[in-house]
């Protein structure tokens, strides 16, 4: 394992500069248009695929970066470009992480390539966990998966919501209840292959921010999938459920559910996205403060403005360090004993929200218009205290980890 360092190596710097160039040349010029259209920016995804930025190979390389910083660096640069387009490019990754976290080697090799397609035929994937009555409270999930032993098939019924790429995805990863008596420990993840009958798109949401990313309900009506589409396989599921039942009787080891395993693995990456948005807004505000003249001098000469910028930069750097620490711990195999993954997502999300608000304030009336990008960045940042676990849920996870108590 490499020594801890706060400096990217030469290869990482080259990758960062390559992504930054794509963000400058392709993403930023298209950002306002696709935000207004509220549609998936397929041409931009296609351009990313052509250069290898949207591909299984690229994300595998970053995922297995021995320093742990590859994914964090990638997310920050893409979301510095634009959060809505960035999420349309990386949204498939949450489904891929779901397969990596819960699937067998064969399932990883079979399904993840189908999530991305190739440069001539781009595909996307969706991870479906949240439900109308089960967001933060995953134990309230109602989507059921029932095993038909005679046909070796699973039958899925229910409605998922807030699914990135939901309904337009080539592959859907669906979390469902297999044993209602075990609560959140009775969940499992399933692959729904392309064109499976019974899966349809429900409501497409018109959102406050990240509007270039498709978000919709996914409706499952008697969706039949082969037995091998259960991630991890039935033997592993039966063993896990048996342990959960034993623990329910006697206490003992903690058994994670499928959705939480995915979110835990993705939280530092989501934090890195928030860092990218915050950095972008800070840079706009800094440039504006240097060039905007009022009362005969640049407004950055005023302490009220300069101190805001100092606080913004400090919070951004602190958020990045928390993300990098959690990313390094994950690849080093170190447990998040103090909920470091949740810490990184919590602080980075709150930072993005506050920094973008301060950027709007520094730009004054201009910041409130769509002529400047900070208005869009502020709208985009708002989701980072809500999705992938609200800030309140992150605090709850941290508090429970630190205290060892079932805080409610």
CATH no. for residue 53?
Answer: 1.10.540.10
The per-residue pLDDT for 256 is: 53
In this structure, what token pair is assigned to residue 250?
A: 């006697």
- Going by C-alpha positions, the residue among 214, 271, 261 that lies closest to residue 89 is 214
262 plus 390 within the same structural domain:
yes
Answer whether residue 380 is part of any domain: yes
Per-residue pLDDT tens digits for 55-103: 989 998 998 899 999 999 999 999 999 999 999 999 999 999 899 889 9
E strands, 193-313, in order = 199-204, 215-226, 293-294, 297-298
241 plus 336 within the same structural domain:
no
Task: Give the pLDDT mean for 237-246.
Answer: 88
In this structure, what token pair is assigned to residue 96?
A: 């891929």
- Going by C-alpha positions, the residue among 300, 269, 288 that lies closest to residue 384 is 269
212 plus 334 within the same structural domain:
no
- C-alpha distance from residue 332 to each of 58, 325, 326, 373 (Å): 21, 10, 10, 38
Answer whether residue 329 is part of any domain: yes
Residue 329 CA to residue 347 CA, distance in Å, equals 17
What residues make up the domain containing 111? 10-122
115 plus 149 within the same structural domain:
no
Answer whether residue 48 is part of any domain: yes
Residue 347 CA to residue 175 CA, distance in Å, equals 27
Does pLDDT of 251 surpass 80? no
- Going by C-alpha positions, the residue among 63, 64, 57, 66 that lies closest to residue 9 is 66
The per-residue pLDDT for 265 is: 63
Per-residue pLDDT tens digits for 260-282: 555 566 799 999 999 999 999 99
Binning pLDDT at 50, 70 and 90, where does residue 5 land? confident
Per-residue pLDDT tens digits for 127-173: 999 999 876 677 789 999 999 999 999 999 999 999 999 999 999 99
3 state DSSP class of 166:
coil
Mean pLDDT across the chain: 92
What is the enclosing helix (H) or strand (E) of 101? helix 92-102
199 plus 176 within the same structural domain:
yes
93 plus 200 within the same structural domain:
no
Give every CB contact of residue 315 below 8 A, 6+ residues apart in sequence: 278, 351, 354, 355
Task: Give the pLDDT mean for 323-340.
Answer: 92
- Going by C-alpha positions, the residue among 37, 36, 195, 165 that lies closest to residue 90 is 165
Per-residue pLDDT tens digits for 349-392: 999 999 999 999 999 999 999 999 999 999 999 999 998 889 99
The per-residue pLDDT for 258 is: 53
Task: Give the pLDDT mean for 202-227.
Answer: 97
97 plus 205 within the same structural domain:
no
Residue 126 CA to residue 92 CA, distance in Å, equals 6
189 plus 291 within the same structural domain:
no
pTM assigned to the model: 0.91
Question: What is the CATH number for 163?
Answer: 2.40.110.10
More confident residue, 262 or 186: 186
Please identify, among 63, 93, 122, the residue that sits at the C-terminal boundary of a domain. Answer: 122
321 plus 218 within the same structural domain:
no
Answer whether residue 5 is part of any domain: no
| Residues involved in catalysis | 388
Please identify, among 92, 122, 152, the residue that sits at the C-terminal boundary of a domain. Answer: 122
DSSP 103-131: --HHHHHHHHHHHHEETTEE--EEEE--B
Answer whether residue 76 is part of any domain: yes
Binning pLDDT at 50, 70 and 90, where does residue 405 land? confident
The per-residue pLDDT for 210 is: 97
What's the domain count of the chain?
3
The per-residue pLDDT for 253 is: 46
- Going by C-alpha positions, the residue among 146, 178, 142 that lies closest to residue 160 is 142
Task: Give the pLDDT mean for 197-225.
Answer: 97
68 plus 132 within the same structural domain:
no
377 plus 267 within the same structural domain:
yes
Please identify, among 250, 280, 312, the residue that sits at the C-terminal boundary of a domain. Answer: 250
Residue 393 CA to residue 398 CA, distance in Å, equals 9
Per-residue pLDDT tens digits for 29-39: 999 999 999 99
237 plus 266 within the same structural domain:
no
Question: What is the CATH number for 369?
Answer: 1.20.140.10
Answer whether residue 4 is part of any domain: no
Answer whether residue 2 is part of any domain: no
Answer whether residue 1 is part of any domain: no
């Amino acid at each position: 394992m490499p020594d801890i360092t706060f400096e990217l190596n030469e290869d990482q710097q080259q990758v960062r500069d390559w992504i930054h160039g794509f963000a400058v040349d392709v993403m930023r010029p298209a950002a306002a248009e696709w935000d207004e259209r509220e549609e998936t920016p397929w041409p931009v995804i296609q351009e990313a695929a052509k250069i290898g930025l949207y591909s299984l190979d690229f994300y595998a390389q970053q995922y297995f970066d021995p320093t742990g910083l590859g994914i964090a660096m990638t997310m920050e640069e893409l979301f510095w470009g634009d959060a809505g387009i960035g999420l349309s490019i990386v949204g498939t990754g949450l489904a891929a992480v779901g397969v990596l976290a819960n699937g067998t080697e064969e399932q990883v090799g079979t399904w993840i390539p189908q999530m991305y397609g190739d440069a001539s035929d781009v595909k996307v994937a969706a991870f479906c966990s949240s439900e109308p009555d089960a967001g933060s409270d995953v134990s309230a999930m109602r989507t059921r998966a029932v095993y038909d032993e005679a046909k070796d098939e699973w039958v899925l019924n229910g409605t998922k919501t807030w699914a990135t790429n939901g309904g337009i995805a080539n592959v859907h990863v669906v979390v469902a209840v297999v044993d209602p008596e075990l609560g959140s420990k009775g969940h499992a993840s399933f692959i729904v292959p392309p064109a499976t009958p019974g899966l349809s798109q429900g409501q497409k949401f018109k959102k406050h921010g990240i509007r270039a990313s498709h978000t919709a309900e996914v409706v499952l009506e008697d969706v039949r999938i082969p037995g091998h589409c259960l991630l991890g396989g039935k033997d592993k599921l039966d063993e896990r459920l048996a342990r959960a039942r034993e623990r329910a009787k006697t206490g003992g080891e903690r058994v994670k559910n499928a959705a939480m395993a995915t979110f835990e693995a993705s939280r530092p990456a989501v934090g890195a996205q928030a860092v990218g948005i915050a950095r972008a807004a800070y840079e706009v505000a800094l440039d504006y403060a240097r060039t905007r003249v009022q009362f005969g001098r640049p407004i950055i000469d005023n302490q009220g403005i300069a101190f805001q910028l100092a606080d913004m930069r400090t919070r951004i750097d602190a958020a990045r360090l928390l993300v990098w620490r959690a990313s390094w711990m994950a690849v080093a195999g170190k447990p998040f004993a103090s909920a470091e993954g949740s810490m990184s997502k919590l602080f980075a999300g709150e930072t993005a929200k506050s920094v973008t608000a301060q950027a709007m304030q520094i730009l004054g009336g201009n910041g409130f218009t769509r002529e400047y990008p900070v208005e869009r960045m502020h709208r985009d940042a708002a989701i980072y205290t809500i999705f992938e676990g609200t800030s309140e849920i992150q605090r709850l996870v941290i508090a429970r980890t630190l205290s060892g108590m079932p805080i409610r």
